[in-house]
Chains A and B, each alone.
Chain A
Amino acid sequence: MVTLTLDRVGVALGRRRVVRDISAAFAAGTLTGVVGPNGAGKSTLARAMLALVPATGAVRIDGDDVAALPRAGLARRIAYLPQGQTLHWPLTVERLVGLGRLPHLAPMSRIADGDAAAIERAMARADVLDLRDRIATELSGGERARTLFARALAVEAPALIADEPLASLDPGHQIDVMELLRAEADTGKLVIAVLHDLTMAARYCDRLLVIDRGTIVADGTPRDVLTPDLLRAVYGIDARIETGGDWPTVTTFGRAQPPD
């Protein structure tokens, strides 16, 4: 069972300390939502987990320091779905999803049967088999999100980190992507997603990590973490949280008035 631990992780971008002294542990089979206001350091924290930014402290996957692992070795253990849907080249969906097999291929080698099977599985899970021959840059936002998700699944890594996978998706496609993340966690993967929609996060995540100004300000189940006081302190908003249903729902009213 895969584990990911952060031990006093800090990241400075230029002179600004974006992530300060974050320690946390993540377990297999859990979907953790990382939430917090813009600029809180969520994406930077996600990038630090993949050794994409120089960080102090240590990020360890199964006890191995990610910064010390060879890139391809790390890539086989943590799949990453970056922020945004930027595609720089008009690849077909199948070729794009196939890029997920890159960490498993030696230079100049051909794609093996096992890789082709993994690509098929990933496309089937993300429901993009019908899009196989379409050009990825010409897809709609929802189709593209599923395609990029399939690319991350094709790595077949035991851990998956997704950075704002719901950005620019309509509610239906947001549910599709959250269901996919949930399903991955339910198959025993360690899944971490940076999210903005608190109700979506509360509905699908086992655990929420609230980040503000580079530090963890709350960590626990959505029911425990999401309180009006926390939302006022972190986001500066007044909100009502309904806890009667199957999952907490957050209704926002407006900017919180500063106390007199």
Chain B
Amino acid sequence: MSRSLLLALLAALTLAAAIASLLFGPVDLSVGRLLAAASGHGDPIATTILFELRLPRTALALAVGAILGLAGAALQGYLRNPLAEPSVLGTSNAAALGGVAALYFGFAQIHPAVLPLLAIGGALLSLALLFALAGRSESPLTLILAGLAVGTLAVAGTSLALNLSPNPFAAMEIMTWLLGSLENRSFEHVRIALPCVAIGAAMLLWNSRALDALTLGEDAAQALGVDIRRLRLRLLVGTAIGVGGAVAVAGAIGFVGLIVPHLIRPLTDRSPSATLLPSAIGGAALLVLADIGVRIVPTTNELKLGVVTAFLGVPIFLVHLMREKRIW
């Protein structure tokens, strides 16, 4: 499939998903009422639901899905590991820990911006720790191990916060947040997430051909003019800002960065650079669709978004496991 056709199809899918996301919800609103609301002549209820609930929710799903898909594709290319994901570097977990800390210590009540800022701070801090642990080594294995250590530490910190949580409601709040959700999000959240996602995405998309050179190994890539350290810094900071901002508003939604590049790759020439932009658009579509799913599946409490993506992601892991074990 040609690249422009792929991008056009993905964009069409994303647009359709976004429109569907505006149409579906717990409150059954007719298309006519929504159209009237959209044109500014609707009844107050439809207008409020459309602009205060569904629109920010859809916008967030698009932005969060895009950065998760993009970060997954970029990290898989950089680490030359098809199972890599923002969580591999511990960034998601560290961002989540930042958010949980905000909740546990009550900072979140000071100002609505504190929680997201701490999440981004957590992501950036994990990065600093990662650099300290991985040192000057340029080997992907060192980086993965360092990411594992940072991620484990963040999960331990989060569990500690849960254990020490003074009342059951705090624990529930933290749990809800960690599973990932786009319920009851406002334009306040969009304003927080969007700049982070935009900055992160720009950093990840810049000069993506360097990732292609890395498929030849680090020496060959450097001999082709790639500055490995600068590339690594750009990828890690871009991931931290983008994913940190996303986790701050949506919680730790896993597996999007794993699923999307795997679905996209067979439709491209398989080079790491060719999967980046399609993975961003595909990630946006996937998360919007998953978010429609959690709204229309009839459950007493709304399903958490991270639960749905995890169910979608595990089969991808299994396929890789089977391939590694040569079961088929």
Q: Which residues of A contact B (CB under 8 A)?
A: 47, 50, 52, 70-76, 78-80, 82, 84, 86-92, 95-96, 99-100, 102-103, 105, 107-108, 135, 148, 151, 155
Tell me which of B206, B220, B223 contacts A78 (CB under 8 A): B223
| Measured CA separation A99–B80 after assembly (Å) | 16
Contacts A71-B226, A135-B270 known; list 14 others, CB within 8 Å.
Answer: A71-B227, A72-B225, A79-B223, A80-B219, A82-B223, A89-B77, A89-B270, A91-B269, A92-B269, A92-B270, A95-B212, A95-B269, A103-B225, A151-B216
Beyond A102-B225, A107-B207, whether A89 also contacts B220 by CB under 8 A is no
| Measured CA separation A50–B219 after assembly (Å) | 9
Chain B proximity of A171: nearest CB distance (Å): 26
Task: Enumerate chain B residues within 8 angstroms of A108, measured Cβ to Cβ.
Answer: 206-207
Task: Decide yes or no whether B296 CB sits under 8 A from chain A.
Answer: no
| Measured CA separation A47–B206 after assembly (Å) | 28
User: By the criterion CB–CB under 8 Å, are B219 and A71 in contact?
Assistant: no
Q: Write the chain A residue with the least CB distance to B219.
A: A82
Show 9 A/B contacts (Cβ-Cβ < 8 Å), sorted by A.
A47-B219, A76-B225, A79-B223, A82-B219, A84-B217, A95-B269, A96-B216, A102-B213, A108-B206
Chain A proximity of B248: nearest CB distance (Å): 29
| Measured CA separation A233–B269 after assembly (Å) | 52
Interface residues of B, count at CB 8 A: 24
Task: Enumerate chain B residues within 8 angstroms of A73, measured Cβ to Cβ.
Answer: 225
* Residue from A79, A80, A95, A102 having most chain B Cβ neighbours under 10 A: A102
User: By the criterion CB–CB under 8 Å, are A99 and B223 in contact?
Assistant: no
Task: Decide yes or no whether B246 CB sits under 8 A from chain A.
Answer: no
User: By the criterion CB–CB under 8 Å, are B215 and A71 in contact?
Assistant: no
Complex A-B, nearest 9 residue pairs according to Cβ-Cβ distance, in ascending order: A72-B225, A75-B225, A80-B223, A107-B207, A89-B215, A88-B80, A103-B225, A102-B224, A71-B225
Q: Write the chain A residue with the least CB distance to B230.
A: A71
Task: Decide yes or no whether B272 CB sits under 8 A from chain A.
Answer: yes
User: By the criterion CB–CB under 8 Å, are A91 and B212 in contact?
Assistant: yes
Task: Enumerate chain B residues within 8 angstroms of A88, measured Cβ to Cβ.
Answer: 80, 214-217
User: By the criterion CB–CB under 8 Å, are A100 and B219 in contact?
Assistant: no
Task: Decide yes or no whether B222 CB sits under 8 A from chain A.
Answer: yes
Task: Decide yes or no whether B209 CB sits under 8 A from chain A.
Answer: yes
Interface positions of B from 175 to 229, Cβ below 8 Å from A: 206-207, 209-210, 212-217, 219-220, 222-227
Beyond A71-B225, A80-B220, whether A90 also contacts B213 by CB under 8 A is no
Tell me which of A75, A86, A105, A135 contacts B223 (CB under 8 A): A75
Task: Decide yes or no whether B30 CB sits under 8 A from chain A.
Answer: no
User: By the criterion CB–CB under 8 Å, are B271 and A89 in contact?
Assistant: yes
User: By the criterion CB–CB under 8 Å, are A75 and B216 in contact?
Assistant: no
| Measured CA separation A47–B216 after assembly (Å) | 15
Beyond A99-B216, A102-B226, whether A89 also contacts B269 by CB under 8 A is no
Q: Write the chain B residue with the least CB distance to A103.
A: B225
Task: Enumerate chain B residues within 8 angstroms of A105, measured Cβ to Cβ.
Answer: 209
User: By the criterion CB–CB under 8 Å, are B271 and A95 in contact?
Assistant: yes
| Measured CA separation A92–B268 after assembly (Å) | 11
Task: Enumerate chain A residues within 8 angstroms of B209, measured Cβ to Cβ.
Answer: 102, 105, 107
User: By the criterion CB–CB under 8 Å, are B224 and A107 in contact?
Assistant: no
Beyond A74-B225, A92-B269, whether A99 also contacts B212 by CB under 8 A is yes
Task: Enumerate chain B residues within 8 angstroms of A148, measured Cβ to Cβ.
Answer: 216
Tell me which of A80, A90, A100 contacts B270 (CB under 8 A): A90
| Measured CA separation A86–B221 after assembly (Å) | 12
Q: Write the chain B residue with the least CB distance to A73.
A: B225
User: By the criterion CB–CB under 8 Å, are B272 and A89 in contact?
Assistant: yes
